[in-house]
Amino acid sequence: AGSNTALGVEFVPAVWAGVMDLEVHEPVGFNFIDCEPSTPLQVVRALTRGSRLVVSNGNFPGGQRSVIQLSQVVLGITGGQTRISILLYEELLQTPVNRRLNFLQGFRAPGGFSIVEQRLWSQDVVDHHEGGRYDEVVPQL
């Protein structure tokens, strides 16, 4: 969560497209501002903001698998299932020629946690585990 990573995007367009508009709706906090796509793609900086990425100079043939590698992507604030929308255009943001809205079968973003405070609630519990004593509960097999 919140980590900087590389991301691969795979899709099969129905017809040829040259521009991709990708938005991660969930989890919140994805950031593509400093993202670098694989060549020859170029980030359209004027339209890329936060969780939205627009790349141009693509060659996404209809009926064929397209793969885009993205580096310097900041993951969302929390982990969880992603909800993504992808729009493809022939030219920069004209009428979409392909679209997949609110796609839920992409990937689960990894979560994380930070320890902000430690507290000793009971010395008896510490003594129990440090003393090598075993719990009295017998496991059920």
pLDDT exceeds 90 at position 79: no
Average pLDDT, the chain: 86
Q: Is the pLDDT of residue 125 over 90?
A: no
Closest CA to 74 of 9, 5, 22, 23: 5
Domain boundaries, the chain: 4-130
On whether the CB atoms of residues 104 and 83 are closer than 8 A, the answer is yes
Is the distance from CB of 101 to CB of 21 less than 8 angstroms? no
Cross-strand pairs, 68: 9
Confidence of residue 120 (pLDDT cuts 50, 70, 90): low
The pLDDT assigned to 49 comes to 95
The answer to whether residue 47 scores a pLDDT higher than 90 is yes
- For residue 138, what pLDDT is reported? 60
Measured CA to CA in angstroms, residue 7 lies from 67, 69, 70, 107, 131 at distances of 10, 6, 5, 11, 47
CB distance 25 to 90 below 8 Å: no
DSSP class per residue in 73-130: EEPPSS-EE-EEEEEEESSTTSSEEEEEEEE-SS-EEP------------HHHHHHHH
Is pLDDT of 33 > 90? yes
* Confidence band for 106, pLDDT divided at 50, 70 and 90: confident
